Chains A and B, each alone.
Chain A
Amino acid sequence: MIEVQDLTKYYGSRLAVDGVSFQVDEGEIVGLLGPNGAGKTTLIRMLTCFMPATSGRATVNGFDVFSQSLQVRQSVGYMPESVPLYEDMRVEEYLRFRGEIKGLGGDALRRRMGDAIERCQLSDRRRQIIATLSKGYRQRVGLAESLLGDPKVLILDEPTIGLDPGQIREARRLIQHLGERHTVLLSSHILHEVEQVCSRIVMISGGKLVADGPLSELRTGIGGQGTTLLEAAGDDAEGLKRAIGGLHGVKSVSAEKAEGDYTAFRIESQGEADVRQAVGELAVRRGWRVRELHTQRPTLEEFFIRKTAEQNLRGRAN
């Protein structure tokens, strides 16, 4: 649905997006992740034909964003960052206007408006003037607006920014729900959110693509995916260490003296393998008293930080 090839954008001499390529398939909910200033908004603006790319190419729904701008815009529902709205209008008036400029009219417009209002739970705010709406409701109005055209592709730029936690949860639920019907590309600088909603992540930093893949793949891609910690007391720590090392799925084991007579084992496992049960059983069989056994899953957060750090380092090196 979305194909980005080598997309580059300069603002004057400043490089904002640097040769980014990725692809979003139909039905995916893809998160465009990156810290503030990474070029997410620029990228999205190019995809929504608001501004031209300096070079490179992008198609949305099969249409070129430069040469077939109108078709692209017709098939995209876009909610810009910080949701600019005409404050002087009522919710209903605003949606009607937006529906009209999307080429809707008559019954179709009424139906879509009703649908969008319902899906975004705006029914009780229909006649309120937008200026008096809370941030969360404005966000919903923006979302409802982007849904009006029943677009194949939804592009949401920072849909949860500025919302309180409750609202964020709600927005997240809404977006997840949207994924059932639309291809969604949403941008965020908050990993947490993307992690919960998206099936795939495109990560950019400093204008460059740093990662692209399904969540699980990304997880796997972070080497040493699982670290299991065992703290137990017993004899022959070396033997136990060796025995654990021989377990299926264990990559490496290290042992350390902990306080008292306990020893702390650090077991690195491969892939998705869960080694806790096997390790626990082994220890108990060998007569060790187990005090703690748990697995630490590496989070995207760590990955994100690492990637951005790498980026920064590279940038500094350059």
Chain B
Amino acid sequence: MAENQESKTPEMQTAPAAARRPSRMAIGANVVVASVLMAGLVVAANFIAWWATKEFRLTRDMTRQGLHSFSSRTTKVLDKIDAPVRITSLYYAAEKDEEAALRKRRVEDLLELYETRGRDVAIEAVDPIDDYAKLTEMGTRITRLHADETAPYADVVKRYLGLNPSLLALMESEKTLFGQVAQDPQVTGDLREFVGLVAQKLGEQHEGLKSIADAMRADVGRWIGEADASAPTDDSQWRDMGIPRYSEATAQIGEVVNGVSMLLGAVAQGAVQQTQVAGVQLPDAARQAFDGIDARYQDILRQLTDLAASLNDLKPLALDDFRGRIRPNSLVIEAAGKARVVEFDDVWPVVRSEDQPMMDAEEQRSFSGEDAVTSALIRLTSRVKTAAVFVIHGSAPISDYRAPYSEFASRLTRNGFEIVNWDIASGQEPPDLESYDRRVFVLMPPEQQQPPMMGMPQPPPARPEEYEPLRKYIERGEAVMAFARVSPDDNPMMPAGGIPYLGLLRAYGVTVRTNVTAAMTHPTERPDGKPAAIPILMTTNYPSATNLEAESPIVAPLQGLLSYWVGPAVVERDSQGEPPAGLRIVPLVEVPDDGKSWGESDLMMLNNGIGQYDSGGSDVAAPFAVALAAERPFADAAAASTADTAASSASGRIGRLVVLGTDMMAMDRFMKPQLALTGNGLQWLDFPGNGELLVNAMLWLGGQEDMIAVSSQAMQYSRIGDLGGGTGTLVRWLLWGALPLAVVLVGIAVYSVRVRAK
């Protein structure tokens, strides 16, 4: 206060202060006004800040990976995109539908982030029910994107419409002709009936052809330069969005072609019959009409036949599929000359409910919009076509939903891989392998042989020779991911087991000990006093199990992400022979030397729940790897496809290999959250580390290290690693006990020092 009042000093001194002193009311009013002004200022400041934040996007996401804006995967994708991207939201919320409104807002918030973060991303929210103009605009753009695909259709329609006038003319003239014949008094009986019928049919056909052409012009006309302004536009059907129904048009053309051909054929045939029946008594009028009927029809019929041939050549239109999938509550993404629809179920997948894991009436959906949109962006903008070639042996295709690895396949699809199945048992190579820019061969263990059963036919066991066709790919440096599994050769339950393709891995100086499984002592005491042992159950955190020095890009981002390894085989360097020059091997997952783990070679013992490390035998001492990555140059660069610049160099192509000691971790039941009966009752088991490890490894193999990241769905945060035993408890006690206690002690110390001092 002093300041304000000090400023009045000069005048106060010149006159009696008492006289000049402002009244209480005056000062009070002053203060009230000042306070109100101040409050107004605060409101104004907030409004400006709100506006500026919105306008200039003055929001900073401080998370390392941009979590609350984006996962690292999305940011990487967005950074790579250099083409304009357009995302249209068709989310719709009816009045009072709060749930839908929330979803709409959530989705649109997300899109706003894309707009902010992306270099050239435009977003638009379009009301899918009412905004027909916008929908049509979008439909038009999308149709343009499909111009190549629709060109043959357009051509057919155009040709048909070109033919139409002459078709109509023919119908018209024939109808008139036959009408006149029917009027002739000499034409009687059957003949008259026939001629009358023909005239009628031709007339009908004429009308039909006219309306069909009109409709066609109205629909696809503007796409083929045949717009008919007079045709009524049908905007009640929002689904069309101005996307022409080419396939419907061509279907109709097919019908017309058939109908007209049949009609004309029938007329011609009828005329011949009538001529034969009537013979010389055929009235002149009829004779004149019937004569030269073939000549009159010939030209049209030929053209119709040509049209029919073109129709048969048409391939199904993706545009049709596209139109069918654009529905309210979907997203349409246009980029790089392509478009994709992200459907509602992709953005809002139905999820388990933690609280009610059992069957539940209410369906719960989680938001995975970022994953869905980013996956779509990857697939739209990825210029490198990478094939994930699953090498299987007589089993179902990998993406078959019944197959045990379908989730793996679908994860790869979402990351821009194209899935190719190579059933190596067929003895044939898959077509078009060379059409991909890159290939990663994924070697899946052949299906386990069942014990021989009466009457059950045994599929032939996989033999190593069958995998020989792979060798040439491997030797020219194509990337390989190989799954192994424990399958001892001498196990009577699994005759002719073993993994037939492991020999191929020697090219990388890597081998798998399929008869040794990672095992650990189990804390429970066996009744017979022998030490209990079980195959190792590594619900592991990568930091404790990986060779951190390796700094592998595959596992580095996965820190602390839970993964599941059960009884993996030991993967190791091949001790036989010289390792290939330039070989670099990085363990990805290691069984640590924790004093209770080892590689057990006596699987029978382990199956019985006993076993212990036998240093003399073929047991393997920890630490050892259960998954590793290897890299080596291959000299034969010329043979390799050089389209892939990332992995090729002057000295030759760098080949990459990832070997995993178990295929179980790639199975759906460990890739997806599963409800499982555990010792603690029904529980959701979720091992996001599995999927992330595999996808990262595939990206690395495909030379797309820069795309390695953690997807937003699997992992949003760096996680706390294994706390091991009492460490966590100790730390907790330190934090909530020792720290406050220290403060109190400091307080007591200060107090006593102060009091004692004189």
**What is the bound-complex CA distance between A4 and B757, given in angstroms?**
46
Is B723 part of the binding interface, using a Cβ–Cβ cutoff of 8 Å? no
Q: Is the CB of A66 within 8 A of B754?
A: no
Is A318 part of the binding interface, using a Cβ–Cβ cutoff of 8 Å? no
Q: Is the CB of B18 within 8 A of A55?
A: yes
Q: Which of B2, B16, B18 contacts A69 (CB 8 A)?
A: B2
The smallest beta-carbon distance between B75 and chain A, in angstroms, is 53
Q: Is the CB of B758 within 8 A of A127?
A: yes
Contact indicator per residue, chain B 1-42, by CB within 8 Å of chain A (1) or not (0)? 110011011001100111001000000000000000000000
Q: Is the CB of A68 within 8 A of B21?
A: no
Is A277 part of the binding interface, using a Cβ–Cβ cutoff of 8 Å? no
Is A81 part of the binding interface, using a Cβ–Cβ cutoff of 8 Å? no
The smallest beta-carbon distance between B17 and chain A, in angstroms, is 5
Residues of chain B from 712 to 758 with CB closer than 8 A to chain A in the complex: 754-755, 757-758
Q: Which of A55, A69, A90 contacts B5 (CB 8 A)?
A: A69
**What is the bound-complex CA distance between A212 and B743, given in angstroms?**
60
Residues of the A chain whose Cβ atoms lie less than 8 Å from the Cβ of B21 = 55, 66-67
Q: Is the CB of B18 within 8 A of A5?
A: yes
Q: Which of A64, A90, A127 contacts B17 (CB 8 A)?
A: A64
**What is the bound-complex CA distance between A56 and B755, given in angstroms?**
48
Residues of chain A from 67 to 85 with CB closer than 8 A to chain B in the complex: 67-70
Contact indicator per residue, chain A 110-153, by CB within 8 Å of chain B (1) or not (0)? 00000000000000000111000000000000000000000000
Q: Which of A57, A68, A128 contacts B16 (CB 8 A)?
A: A57
Q: Is the CB of A127 within 8 A of B757?
A: yes
**What is the bound-complex CA distance between A4 and B18, given in angstroms?**
12
What is the chain A residue whose CB lies nearest that of B2?
A70
Known contacts A6-B18, A57-B18, A69-B2, A64 near B758 by CB under 8 Å:
no
The smallest beta-carbon distance between A282 and chain B, in angstroms, is 59
**What is the bound-complex CA distance between A6 and B21, given in angstroms?**
14
Q: Which of B6, B9, B18, B758 contacts A128 (CB 8 A)?
A: B758
Q: Is the CB of A67 within 8 A of B758?
A: no
Q: Is the CB of A57 within 8 A of B17?
A: yes
Q: Is the CB of B18 within 8 A of A67?
A: no
Number of cross-chain contacts by CB at 8 Å: 41
The smallest beta-carbon distance between B263 and chain A, in angstroms, is 111
Residues of the A chain whose Cβ atoms lie less than 8 Å from the Cβ of B12 = 64, 66-68
Residues of the A chain whose Cβ atoms lie less than 8 Å from the Cβ of B17 = 57, 64, 66-67
Q: Is the CB of B18 within 8 A of A68?
A: no
**What is the bound-complex CA distance between A317 and B251, given in angstroms?**
120
The smallest beta-carbon distance between B269 and chain A, in angstroms, is 120
**What is the bound-complex CA distance between A289 and B753, given in angstroms?**
76
Residues of the B chain whose Cβ atoms lie less than 8 Å from the Cβ of A90 = 754, 757
Q: Is the CB of A129 within 8 A of B6?
A: no
**What is the bound-complex CA distance between A70 and B5, given in angstroms?**
10
**What is the bound-complex CA distance between A187 and B113, given in angstroms?**
73
**What is the bound-complex CA distance between A90 and B18, given in angstroms?**
42
Residues of the B chain whose Cβ atoms lie less than 8 Å from the Cβ of A5 = 18
What is the chain A residue whose CB lies nearest that of B1?
A69
**What is the bound-complex CA distance between A84 and B17, given in angstroms?**
31
What is the chain B residue whose CB lies nearest that of A68?
B9
**What is the bound-complex CA distance between A168 and B297, given in angstroms?**
141
Contact indicator per residue, chain A 143-170, by CB within 8 Å of chain B (1) or not (0)? 0000000000000000000000000000
Q: Is the CB of A67 within 8 A of B9?
A: yes
What is the chain B residue whose CB lies nearest that of A70?
B2
The smallest beta-carbon distance between A138 and chain B, in angstroms, is 16
**What is the bound-complex CA distance between A6 and B755, given in angstroms?**
49
Residues of the A chain whose Cβ atoms lie less than 8 Å from the Cβ of B754 = 90, 129
**What is the bound-complex CA distance between A134 and B632, given in angstroms?**
89
**What is the bound-complex CA distance between A249 and B754, given in angstroms?**
68
Question: Which of B16, B17, B757: most chain A Cβ within 10 A?
Answer: B17
Q: Is the CB of B757 within 8 A of A67?
A: no
The smallest beta-carbon distance between B321 and chain A, in angstroms, is 80
Residues of the B chain whose Cβ atoms lie less than 8 Å from the Cβ of A68 = 6, 9, 12
The smallest beta-carbon distance between B30 and chain A, in angstroms, is 14
Residues of the B chain whose Cβ atoms lie less than 8 Å from the Cβ of A56 = 18
**What is the bound-complex CA distance between A70 and B9, given in angstroms?**
11
**What is the bound-complex CA distance between A66 and B20, given in angstroms?**
11
Q: Is the CB of A70 within 8 A of B6?
A: yes
What is the chain A residue whose CB lies nearest that of B18?
A57
Q: Is the CB of A67 within 8 A of B755?
A: no
Residues of the B chain whose Cβ atoms lie less than 8 Å from the Cβ of A64 = 12-13, 17
What is the chain A residue whose CB lies nearest that of B10?
A67
Residues of the A chain whose Cβ atoms lie less than 8 Å from the Cβ of B755 = 129
**What is the bound-complex CA distance between A68 and B21, given in angstroms?**
12
What is the chain B residue whose CB lies nearest that of A56?
B18
Question: Which of A64, A90, A128: most chain B Cβ within 10 A?
Answer: A64
**What is the bound-complex CA distance between A55 and B758, given in angstroms?**
48
**What is the bound-complex CA distance between A277 and B21, given in angstroms?**
60
Residues of the B chain whose Cβ atoms lie less than 8 Å from the Cβ of A70 = 2, 6
Residues of the B chain whose Cβ atoms lie less than 8 Å from the Cβ of A128 = 757-758
10 of the cross-chain contacts (CB-CB < 8 Å) are: A5-B18, A55-B18, A55-B21, A57-B18, A64-B13, A66-B17, A67-B9, A68-B9, A68-B12, A90-B754
Residues in chain B within 8 A of chain A (CB atoms): 1-2, 5-6, 8-9, 12-13, 16-18, 21, 754-755, 757-758
Q: Which 10 A-B pairs have the closest CB atoms?
A: A67-B12, A57-B18, A70-B2, A57-B17, A64-B17, A69-B2, A127-B757, A67-B5, A67-B9, A67-B8
Residues in chain A within 8 A of chain B (CB atoms): 5-6, 55-57, 64, 66-70, 90, 127-129
A55-B18, A64-B13 are known; give 16 further A-B pairs, CB within 8 A: A57-B18, A64-B12, A66-B12, A66-B21, A67-B5, A67-B6, A67-B13, A67-B21, A68-B6, A68-B12, A69-B1, A69-B5, A70-B6, A90-B754, A127-B758, A129-B757
